Structure 1
Amino acid sequence: MGFWGIETPEEYGGANMPPTTQAIIKLELSKSFVPFKFGGWVHNILFSCNEDQKQRYLIPAVQGEKAVCFALSEASSASDATNMQTTAKKDGNDWIINGEKIWITGGHSADFAIVFAANDKSKGAKGGITAFLVDREMGWKSELIDTMVSNHEPATLIFDNVRVPEENVIGEVGYGFKYAMQFINHNRGYVIPAYSIGAAERMLSMAVEYANTRTSFGKPLAERQAIQWMIANSATDIEAAKGFLFRSAALAEKEGSWKTGNDSNQFRTLSSMAKLYNANMVNRVVDDVMQIFGGMGVTKELPIERWYRNVRVYRIFEGSDEMLRRTIAKNLLNEKIKVGEIE
């Protein structure tokens, strides 16, 4: 289709498209269940690697020779990532990693993982968490997790005295959490919000067509006020969601944070709002669409039940609704941003 590395810099063979363009592409492709994956795409964290690491990990990942996963979440601290229990202890020129990561997308098929571990629990995110490049052949194991979501295959990663060389530390020891947020905030800002809108538009289009052709008591469903209100509410919700998506993408583009990873308080707040609103929006839309279709909506002859299952996780991963509200509220109450001043 002509898409290759839409987020990847040109120097690595990518298209280097800005966030607004990326958002449009992701929105359109999410109207289908085709398992489309962008060739040449890698986690933006890898662009922060040093030159040696780029040769060993970034370039093979861009070329499709190695698969990578992002290993942050843990069972006891999924939304409180700074309280992670996975540890990294220095041993000569190596680090020894112990612990478990859970809900890791692509973890069962990854060749290497970007692993976040506590090098000093007392310091938390401010000097106590380090990011590592850890090859599977270094000794970690994975177990696939079975979920109700058809297009999401998370895994548990197990680290039992896994030895990682010093040269596999990303950036500065103790300051790896900023790379995690670099990845998460951009997914919140214009990836999940775009997926949400694409799916919602496709489902609403199906509902409009069905309401115009399905009859009940001698009249089309479209003439029933209850149906009209569901369609009107869903359409309004979708248009409002587009505002969040493109404002967030435009701010990332303006700040250059999609390249540098230096997310501002404004972007962190707006991306949290975008993900919170859009993820809830698509869940409201799929619920109304299923209601309009009635019994047919829950059958596997139609894609609605699958969307119903798939989009539910949008309200959980990359920051739950509750954590996003906490972020938004804290930034306002601590006056890191002011009411009405988000671009």
Structure 2
Amino acid sequence: MMDFALTDEQRDLRDVARAFVTKELLPLEDGFLRGGADRLPREREHELRAKARSFGFWGLSTPEPYGGMDLPALTQALIHIELARTCVPFRFGGQADNILYAATAAQQEEYLKPTIAGERLGCFALTEPDAGSDVAAIRTTARPDGTDWVVRGQKTFISNGDDADYAIVIAATDPGATAFLVDRAAGWTSSPIPTMGSWHRPATLFFDDVRVPGDKVLGEVGAGFDLAGRWVGKGRHVISAHCVGIAERCLSMAVGYAGLRRAFGRPIGDNQAIQWMIADSETELEAGRWLALRAAWDVDRGADARHSAAMAKLYCTGMVGRVVDRALQIHGGMGYTRELPLESWYRAVRAMRIYEGTDEIQRLILSRDLLRGHTRIGGHLA
């Protein structure tokens, strides 16, 4: 049975995260919004990460032997909810793509550990112009040439792709597909992709016969899709928690503004139209909160969380869009300006229904589970 009460440790970590956001990040919003920047200056980001580490936040999901906190997924979700309450694009340090834990000891020294320490930045390069959700359609190839491999192809919509100094590249090989660790210095190039929301800074990566040493194979030759499965979808419950945090802040702003803004001699919150928007947002937010926490709880208890994570992502990414839209509507013209974070969130949250699996892919996962004979007993797939 799921216990809905937080432990003392979870409550304490949530409160410390809330204090960090309130003290260090919220005061930066005004300048960030007015300045029109899409990211913090690198020096400021490093300074904030050092402060976060002094608060105790470093490597939320990183195993303890690598210097991380290795927190339960539910505790991480609570922290991500707090971190999402600000539009300042900041993430705690000490993290690396989980696929990197499949690296050899030598590869870990060269890639994993420096990434955790913040000394290197990688990106995960799977999506291509003609291969998004259908990963088996990738056309980027890697052919053996002596003890090396030669990688040729193109990847697109790669988060951090224009900033990364190495890429984890999934390329078609014989047999199957293989993951490679490819340094930018090896010769690949990138081009940023302008988007409606700028938080994720996607880029297109170009590999024009890039030579990769044989010791840069990550895992086994031909096992690239299995390795990719460790990364793809793992962030869905985190995205859901992030949606909850944004929606909480937007609803709080809407309620506060509805009580202060007056029209025709009374607060606009006296109007039923405003009340219904607030009530609908509260109801949907609460449903999303429990779906997000349920998915994280499934991860912690060792269950197959793909079903609950798909439900959480499908619902929460739609929910946050509706809550942001209502909050912006309640604020009227002020909500449309860069005086407030609402217009930034309005643009940014739309991408959440696309990356880490589109809405349609989440529906495919859910319906396929049920149509293949799984039934829900006591709230669990059986």
Distance in 1 between residues matched to 2:208 and 2:239, nearest whole Å:
33
Q: Who is 1:210 aligned against?
A: 257
CA distance in 1 between counterparts of 2:314 and 2:362 reads: 7
Counterparts of 1:282 and 1:34, CA distance in 2? 17
Q: How does 1:245-324 map to 2 (within 5 A)?
A: 245-255=292-302, 266-324=304-362
What is the match of residue 204 of structure 2?
A: 156
1:56-95 to structure 2, matched below 5 A, reads 56-95=110-149
Matched, 1:222 2:262: no
Q: What residue identity is the alignment partner of 1:186?
A: K
Answer whether contact 1:150 1:306 (CA < 8 A) is retained.
Answer: no
Q: 1:150 deviation in Å?
A: 2.9
- Per the TM alignment, residue 37 of structure 1 is displaced from its structure 2 partner at its CA by 2.2
Cα deviation for residue 75 of structure 1 reads 1.1
Q: Is the 8 A contact 2:259 2:269 kept in 1?
A: yes
Return the offset for 1:15.
1.2
Aligned residue identity for 1:53 = Q
The letter of the residue matching 2:326 is D
- SS of the aligned residue for 2:178 comes to strand
Task: Give the distance between the partners of 1:87 and 1:65, measured in 2 at CA.
Answer: 29
Determine the C-alpha separation between the residues in 1 that align with 2:210 and 2:77: 38
Superposition pairs of residues 104-253 of structure 1, within 5 angstroms: 104-120=158-174, 128-188=176-236, 190-253=237-300
Following the alignment from structure 2 to structure 1, what is the Cα–Cα distance between the partners of residues 78 and 170? 31
Instruction: Return structure 1 stretches of 4+ with deviation > 3 angstroms.
Output: none
SS of residue in 1 equivalent to 2:95: coil
- 1:247 deviates by 1.1
Q: Please tell me whether the aligned partners of residues 283 and 308 of structure 1 are also in contact (alpha carbons under 8 angstroms).
A: yes
Contact kept? 2:288, 2:316, Cα under 8 Å: yes
Q: Secondary structure at the match of 1:236?
A: helix
Is the 2:334–2:340 Cα contact (8 Å) retained in structure 1? Answer: yes
Secondary structure of 1:186's counterpart equals coil
Structure 2 segments unaligned to the other structure (5+ residues): 1-51
Query: Contact conserved, 1:7 with 1:41, CA < 8 A, in 2?
Result: yes
Which amino acid in the other structure matches residue 4 of structure 1? W
Separation in 2, partners of 1:10, 1:28? 23
- Aligned equivalents of 2:340, 2:150: Cα separation in 1: 49
Counterpart Cα distance in 2 of 1:149 and 1:159: 26
Aligned residues of 2:87 and 2:344 also touching (Cα < 8 A) = no
Matched to 2:91, the amino acid is: K
Counterparts of 1:271 and 1:202 in 2: how far apart (Å)? 23
What displacement does 1:204 show?
A: 0.4
Give the Cα–Cα distance (whole angstroms) in 2 for the partners of residues 243 and 128 of structure 1: 39
> Is contact 2:254-2:331 (8 Å) kept?
yes
The percent identity for this pair of structures is: 49
- What is the TM-score of this pair, normalised by structure 1? 0.91
Normalising by structure 2, what TM-score? 0.82
- Pairs aligned (count): 326
Flag structure 1 segments of 5+ consecutive residues without an equivalent: 121-126, 256-263
Deviates more, 1:102-111 or 1:76-85: 76-85
Letter in 2 for 1:96: V
CA distance in structure 2 between the partners assigned to 1:327 and 1:226 by the alignment: 37
Partner AA of 1:198 in structure 2: G
C-alpha distance in structure 1 between counterparts of 2:375 and 2:173, whole Å: 35
Q: Which amino acid aligns with 1:231?
A: I
Deviation at 1:267, TM superposition (A): 1.6
Question: Could you tell me how far apart the structure 2 residues matched to 1:136 and 1:28 are?
Answer: 35
**TM-fit CA distance, 1:111:** 1.0
Q: Does 1:23 align with 2:92?
A: no
